[in-house]
Amino acid sequence: MPNIKSAKKRTLINAKKTLRNKMIKSDLKTAIKKADLAISENADNKADAVKVAVKKIDMACTKGILHKNTAARRKSGLTTRLNQSNN
């Protein structure tokens, strides 16, 4: 454990940020899994599920959880799978 006050504060802040990042990542993974499941099952709400997943990806990118190129790649992959399932 740190003895200096600023180090103690930094430890608390890092714990909060880690928790926040973990929540965002978990939410993102869930949205992507739901979108993939909707696409694979050819559900009626697959476009809506992809739309929600893309929004979560954008939010994660804005918060600094994902790199912008990673976010673009994931969004592109989702929309490609959606378009292939429509044909």
pLDDT of residue 86: 82
pLDDT of residue 65: 95
Which residue shows structure tokens 């200096």? Answer: 4
pTM: 0.86
6, part of any domain: no
65, part of any domain: yes
**Mean pLDDT of the chain, nearest integer:** 95
Q: How many domains does the chain have?
A: 1
The pLDDT tens digits for 41-52 are: 988 899 999 999
Average pLDDT over residues 35-44: 92
pLDDT of residue 10: 96
63, part of any domain: yes
Give the Å distances, CA to CA, from 24 to 56, 59, 66, 72: 8, 9, 10, 17
Average pLDDT over residues 16-23: 97
Give the Å distances, CA to CA, from 73 to 9, 40, 52: 37, 19, 16
Per the structure, the complete domain to which residue 55 belongs is given by: 31-87
37, part of any domain: yes
